Structures are given as structure tokens and as C-alpha cells.
Chains A and B, each alone.
Chain A
Amino acid sequence: MTVVSESGLPHDAGRRDAQHHRDRLRKKITEQLKERIGEEDIIASGPEKKVRVPIKGTKRWQFILDRGQGEGVGQGDGEPGDVLGPGGDAAGQGEAGTEPGEELYEVWLDMNDVEELLFSELELPRLKPKSGTDLEAAQTVYDQIARKGPQLDKKSTLRENLLRNAKRGHVSLGGIDKPDLRYLSYRDVPKPRNRAVIFLAMDVSGSMTVERKRMARLFFYWCVQFLRSRYEQTEIVFVAHTTEAREVNEEEFFNRVESGGTKVSSVFEAVQQMQRDRYPAEDWNVYVLHVSDGDNFAADNQRTLELIRTLTEICSLVGYLEVSSSSGGSHKLSTYYEREASDLDGFVFAHAADDRQLWPALKRFFVKDDVETAIR
């Protein structure tokens, strides 16, 4: 007989697979959050209030018989006709009637978790250091190798030893001594401030139905959440427009109902003016996001695009999201942009027909990859 005191299993394989399992769960949660960013309870979650997210896609699928029709054999007390609880007794707990291979995962998330899961995929694109007027507090970076320091760096130490031995004619490790010791050390790196301003511009004209306004606000809600959680110092300017545009405060932006005609050029004129007056491009990264249903006064389209063209020259991003149940339509702004501006550098447009398409839109604007290649 053979007795060995080892499992024959790779060490820690169990924990590794358990970690893979949790990584997969995390991805699934994130996927589901993206689809549910329109839902009331997610938005209503705060630091205290938590939202319950059941995780789809974790069931172990298999063909089983109709659960309502099952039969079986059990062991224990009970006469024909007696009704037993799940554990085979009146009050018990146990397996009878539970689903096969069922893993029930639900997680409770608060807003911080939601942001952590979602926003790690987003970034303000083309954020550049701007004129070094004010520097943020210096950051401590551990990237120095020194003769003194808080933590021994083995690799450098071995290299020094090898060098020292080599100088004395034998290329090998050994006899590590004080002169070989190298430490990981730190330095303070002043971090340039990437000042940014983002203009959030919303069409509040009559053609923006209650549903379209709701979607537009939902989109802006997530923009604001994202910016505030990741870029504390970013300034946000809210602009509402019908046939003319004006700056509004956050409260008004998210709540006021207006109506009237639509003249999209008005909003870009206003943005351009504010930017020139208050946010000079040499000091600020400038972003503009405009949301509309795309029902613009047709004769205004050309003027609008001219303004956008001018803005793209100084802005890191000009974005346009069209919210409407159907995409396209000859009179829509998106159709016009598609035709006239599809290769305009720095201009990104997207379409969302329902809440589930808001996340892909956010991702198009706040694209994380190399911007030059990701933006077409």
C-alpha cells in the first residue's frame, strides 16, 4: 500500500480556480449593471442605500423534468398524505424541492460599488496636461534604486553583485556584501494638473418627448456620476437649448420642463462663447456633449456643423448622442452628420433607442483605449 502526504494536485489550484470563479462573477455583475443603468433602484442607490443585483448567467443549465411535477423517495417519518417541508419535516430545512445545480447569487451594491464596477471602463479621452500654472500636490512614486531605502531590491542587488564580481574577473554570483545592496526608494513627482471643463448640452425643445428627455437626463446623470467620481476637479457646465441656448444650474438642468422649436447651432454658439470667455484652451481640456432627438431645423444643420468643426480644433472631444426610438430618418441630425462629418477628427456621435444602449454610448464618448485609433 502507498500512503503519501501530498495531494498530487498543483499547489493552490483550488484557490486559483475559486479566484477565476469570482472574476467571472464580477464580470457578469458588471455586464448586468450596464444593462440596468436605466433602472430606478440603481440610480436611487446611494452610499447608504443598497441595490440588489441578482446575477444572471450563473445557473448550471441542464435539462431537468418539470419541477412542479416531481416525485421522489425520502427517508424518515410521515404517513401517506402528510405534507412535509423542504427538509422532510414540517419545519426543517434541506434539499427536497430545491433546484439542481442552482447557485443563487445576488449581490447588494451601493453607489460606490456600482461606480467602481462600471467606471473603471471609462476615461476622459485626450486629457492633456495644461499650462503648469497650478500643480496638484506632489505624488510619491517608488521607482528609484538607491544605496539606502526602505525596501531591499533583490534584482538590483544581484545585478550589482554580478557586476562587482565581473570587474574582479569571475562572472558569477556570490559573496554578496554591503556594497552590493540596493534598495527601492521613492521620489516626489509633481503631477501636472489636467484641468478640464465639460459642457453638457441638452435639447429641451417640444419634440423631445417625456421619454426622450428622461433618457437624455439618464445619460447625463451617468456622465455627472462618472466625472465626479473619477475627475473631482472637472468643471461641469450645464446648457439647455430650444431655439436658443442658455446656461442653467444642475437642478434646473435635471428637472425643468420646457418646450419650443429647435435650433442646434444655438447651443454650440453659446458653448463657444463661454469657452472663449471663461475656459481658454491653453489652460483647459474642453469637452462638449450634446444630446438631442435630432429633429433640427434643417436649414440650421450646416451652421451647426461649421461650429462643431471649429470646436473640434480646440476641444478634446465633441460628442453627440441622438435619443429616439428609430435610428436614422432623412431629416435627423445623425443622418446629416453621418453624411457630412463621419471622418471629422475629435467628433463622435452615437444613437440610443432605449436605456440599454446608453452604456455603449457612454463608452464611445469616454473611450479608454488609445484615443487616436479608437475615435474614427
Chain B
Amino acid sequence: MSGYTLDDLRTIDEQCREVAANELGFDVPDVVYHLVRPEEIYFAAANGLPARYSSARWGAQFDEAYGRYQRGQDRIYELIFNTRPAHAYLMEGNSLVAQTLVIAHCLGHGYVFENNAWLGAVDREIMSRVVSAADRIADYMGAHGRDRVEDLLEACRAIAVHQSQAQLISKARVSEPVHRPRPYDVLFPAEVTADRQRVETERAALRQRFPREPQEDLLGFIEAHARGLEDWQRDVMSIVRSEQSYFLPQMRTKIINEGAAVLAHQEICQRLFLPADRYWEYERLNAGVIQPHPGQVNPYNLGINILREIMHIARDPDEEERERWSWAGQADPFEQVRSVLSTYDDEALLREFLTPKVCELSRLYAFEHIQQDPRKIRVSSREADAIRDVLIRQHTTFGIPHIEIIDADFRGRGDLLLEHQHEGIGLDDEYARGTLTQIALLWGKPCTIRTVNGRDTDAPVWFTGQPDGSSERHDSEPEAS
């Protein structure tokens, strides 16, 4: 250990909590800190959850990230899990200043975990389930061979993100068509008969359709309806699906969550270290955390700039801002931030607060990939409106295409037909085909998806994946062969 004890860390946590509660109004429940070797922190990060089931996937992720760490290209300072209590990992060997920053940072996360409506939808008692799932998967590996279970896990993970994303919103059901009598029906008997017939046919068609309504919970549907699965296979599917549901709300609150954490560490550390000599070390670390990432968006950077903008509007708005926000100039800055942290997700945050000022502060630009060389990008705009559009498009879906199962008896042969509800851009050819082979593995029969070709929304394409791993592309609807 680098010249401090666990007790020193406890003292620091107390000091941080005092500032958080008194100055920021952040009341944070207890966080369990683990002081661990770098290897362990990287492994926990690769797993996504502590004590998760054993899998080669985590090993691969661990190898990659830990390799970068050993080459000096990467350094995780902190890792925190949204469980109850929250578990955070501190890296052994970091300086006391770094640990202080991390502890203060975690208090920001802890506040958001506890208060944000979206994160509140997470089952925070997940750890007992995670541990029992790990045991069961180990049993299945023993009984059916590790490879078989790993293949199944891999296939499940390929589609686990496709579940109901808006967990707070339930979808209206498709209603059956009905014949509506009209005042002058008696004058048009032929039309009335025709309409009754239409309603009957449509109803019959609807009743024959399975699923009746498009299903966006791909893994859930397959788990419930695929034939010939053994119990353990359904159990593995349900484990992967339910663990993924823990991550979805975090994906939707990444910017807001990191913004809150940076705000917490900045406010706390400025008070703790000023005017002490360790302030400069703190400043250097802080600058590293929030520096922009060229070519992408650093959520720490964008998050803190937006929250600071909100505080600024609350404290010292200009005319335009005063008109736009009723609370401008009249609210307590931290109170305003707390209310945003409690009720917003990233999409709402960006919609309302990605102002031209924030764009300039974070030096944001919108870009397009260059088709001939997807590794290169062309800057398309520095206008806030354009940037906001792109960012929001990404954040409403987290970059996950919207996919639905529309027919579980495609071509009358029990094949699965999916549809990509595109928003102007089709699916990637190679990845669609690969993913479909994974779905076919789960479903046990060929699986087809309908999407569009690139940006040509008038050109539908179909991809089919087979359980044996082969796949095809079709430019017209594939027929039963």
C-alpha cells in the first residue's frame, strides 16, 4: 500500500460525505469499497458485475483491457456497481489524492443510483441472483460440456439487448378491426357487406398470425416459444436476458451519471484540497478524466459541461435563458441539478440542455463516415441543432437498431421472421448475417430479417441465417425452398 491505511480511506469517505451532504445536498447510502490489485479491478470491469458466471467472453475482455493497462495505454481508476449496497473498486497503489477523487466521484454515482427514476427501475438486489446464476451455469457446464454452454451464452448475448427499452412505458396493444355501423348504412347494403367481409378476413388473418403483435423482446420470445429446448437451455437464456436488463438503464443514463460523478468529485475535492499543496495533483487527474476524446464523445466531459450549464442558468441566466426556463435565475443551482439527476435520462437531458454554449465548451461536431473508407470521418456540422439531432438519434436507441419478431411461422415452416424498424439506415450486412446465425442456433430453424439497403429506404433486403452457421442475402422476399 502507498503510505495509507484502510482507516485513512474511511476518514476520507467521511470527509467527502460531509461535503456532499452539506454543500451539494447529496445524501448517499453506504458504498462498499474494495481496495484491490489492478488485475482484479480489470476482471470485475470485464465481467460487468462482480461474481458473475464464468465465461470465456469475460476472459477475452479481460485480456484485451488488462493488456492495454500493462502496455500503459489504459488505466481504470474506479469501478462502481449499481447494487444495494453499491460496490466500488479502488486500485491498490494509487495515490491518496487519486483515491480521494475516486471516493468523491463514487458518491456522485451513488446519489444518481439512489435517486434517478430510470436507474430506480433496476433490480438492485441483483447480486443474489447473479451468484445463483453463476452456480447454475457452472453446473450446466459440468453436465453438458463447457463448449456447448459457452456457444449458447454467446448466441444469447448477441441479441440480449433487444428487449423492451422503455421499461417505464408499456405499449398499447394492437386492436382487432371492427365493423362500425354508420347512420346511412341501410342505403348501401353492398358496401356494408363488403366491409363486414373485410373485417372478418383481417381478423382471421390477425388471429392466425403468431406472434399476434410484433415482439421486441427477442430472447424472451425465443425462450418462451422455441421448440425442443431443454430446461437448462431456457434457464441460460433467461439468465442472460435478466442480467442484460440491469445494464439497459445504465446505458440510457451514461452522460447524466458521469456528469454527476464529476460534479461531485470537483465540488468535494476543491473544498477538501484548497488551499493545500495536493491541489495540483488533483487538478491534473481531473483534467485527465474530463479531457475530450478525439473522434468520439467523452461522457464525463459532456456530462459535467451540461450540469455546469444548468447551474449557470439557475444562477446567472441571460435574457434568452430567462425566457426559456421559468426557474432561470431563481433556483438554487444544486437543487436544480438534483432535480435533473432524479428525473432525466440522457435523451431528455440532451434535448433540453445541449445548448450552443455546451457544444462550444465541449467542442462538439457532427460527422459522417466516409463510405469509401469507413475508418475516416467528415465533419458535417458544428451547429448545436445538427449535433443534437445526431446525438439524440444515438441516445434514443443507444445505437441499437430496433428489431422485432413479426412472424414465428415464416413461410409456413416455423422459421423466424424479424423486421428492422429502420430510421433511414439499413443494417450492416456482415453483422446482420452473423447475428442471424446465432438466433437460428437458439430458434433451431432458419431466421430471416427484413431491412433496407444502406440509406436506400425503397430497397428492401433480406438476410437469412441458418443453424449450421451459413447465411444468405436476398434482394427479394425469400420463398420456401
Contacts and interface: CB of A to CB of B under 8 A. Distances in A.
Interface of A: 1-10, 13-24, 27, 58-89, 92, 94-100, 103
B365 A73 contact: yes
B308 interface: no
A103 B46 CA distance: 14
Interface string B374-388: 111111111000010
B422 to A, nearest CB: 8
A61 B380 contact: no
B390 A73 contact: yes
Contacts of B375: 85-86, 96-98
Interface in B137-184: 146-147, 150, 154, 157-159, 161-162
Given A72-B296, A75-B301, A95-B296, A27 B363 contact: no
Interface stretch (B48-56, B219-227, B228-236, B340-348): B48-56
Contact of B56 (A23, A63, A82): A23
Given A74-B297, A75-B294, A3 B10 contact: yes
Interface in B412-450: 420, 425-429, 431-432, 434-435, 437-438, 449
B315 interface: no
Nearest to B383: A80
B6 A5 contact: yes
A63 B146 contact: no
A3 B99 CA distance: 12
18 contacts: A1-B33, A4-B6, A5-B34, A7-B36, A9-B50, A10-B51, A58-B60, A63-B400, A64-B427, A64-B431, A65-B401, A73-B367, A74-B367, A75-B364, A76-B363, A84-B377, A94-B296, A99-B431
Contacts of B434: 59, 61
Interface string B26-65: 0000111111100111111010001100111111101110
A69 B50 contact: no
A66 B408 CA distance: 26
B337 interface: no
B431 A87 contact: no
Given A62-B161, A80-B379, A72 B367 contact: yes
B218 to A, nearest CB: 10
B60 A21 contact: yes
A83 B57 contact: no
Interface in B102-148: 146-147
B215 interface: no
A100 B398 CA distance: 13
B206 interface: no
A293 to B, nearest CB: 28
B401 A63 contact: yes
Interface of B: 6, 9-10, 13-14, 17, 30-36, 39-44, 46, 50-51, 54-60, 62-64, 66, 85, 87, 89, 146-147, 150, 154, 157-159, 161-162, 292-298, 301, 362-371, 373-382, 387, 390-391, 393-394, 399-401, 403, 420, 425-429, 431-432, 434-435, 437-438, 449, 454-455
Contacts of B40: 7, 9, 14
Nearest to A56: B469
A75 B387 CA distance: 11
B428 A64 contact: yes
B63 A94 contact: no
Given A76-B294, A82-B378, A68 B454 contact: yes
A62 B159 contact: yes
A92 B296 CA distance: 13
Contacts of A20: 54-56, 59, 146, 150
B34 A96 contact: no
A36 B34 CA distance: 49
A84 B379 CA distance: 8
A67 B301 contact: no
Contacts of A66: 425-429, 454-455
Top 3 closest A-B pairs, CB basis? A88-B295, A88-B294, A14-B43
B366 A73 contact: yes
Given A5-B35, A14-B62, A62-B161, 5 more contacts: A5-B36, A61-B438, A74-B377, A77-B363, A96-B367
Given A1-B14, A73-B390, A68 B371 contact: yes
Given A1-B30, A2-B32, A9-B50, A97 B374 contact: yes
Q: Identify the interface centre among A1, A27, A69, A70: most chain B CB within 10 Å of its CB.
A: A1
B428 A67 contact: yes
A61 B158 contact: yes
A329 to B, nearest CB: 27
A74 B376 contact: no
Given A61-B434, A71-B390, A88-B295, A18 B87 contact: no
A83 B370 CA distance: 8
Q: Identify the interface centre among B59, B63, B292: most chain A CB within 10 Å of its CB.
A: B59
B50 A83 contact: no
A69 B36 CA distance: 43
Contact of A1 (B31, B158, B393, B427): B31
Contacts of B400: 63
Contacts of B10: 1, 3
A94 B295 contact: yes
Nearest to B429: A66
A150 B61 CA distance: 42
B294 to A, nearest CB: 3
Nearest to B292: A75
A68 B54 CA distance: 36
Q: Identify the interface centre among A6, A65, A81: most chain B CB within 10 Å of its CB.
A: A65
A68 B453 CA distance: 11
A65 B33 contact: no
A201 B375 CA distance: 54
Contacts of A65: 399, 401, 425-428
A95 B375 CA distance: 8
B374 A95 contact: no
A6 B364 CA distance: 41
A302 B376 CA distance: 69
Contact of B32 (A4, A68, A72): A4
Contact of B62 (A5, A18, A60, A84): A18
Contact of B147 (A16, A18, A27, A71): A27
A98 to B, nearest CB: 7
A81 B17 CA distance: 48
Contact of B390 (A72, A81, A87): A72
Q: Identify the interface centre among B35, B39, B161, B379: most chain A CB within 10 Å of its CB.
A: B379
Contact of B293 (A75, A80, A83): A75
A97 B294 contact: no
Contacts of A58: 60
Contacts of A10: 51
A76 B292 contact: yes
Nearest to B66: A14
Contact of B55 (A1, A17, A19, A88): A17
A9 B43 contact: yes
A20 B56 CA distance: 5
Contacts of A22: 59, 63
B71 to A, nearest CB: 14
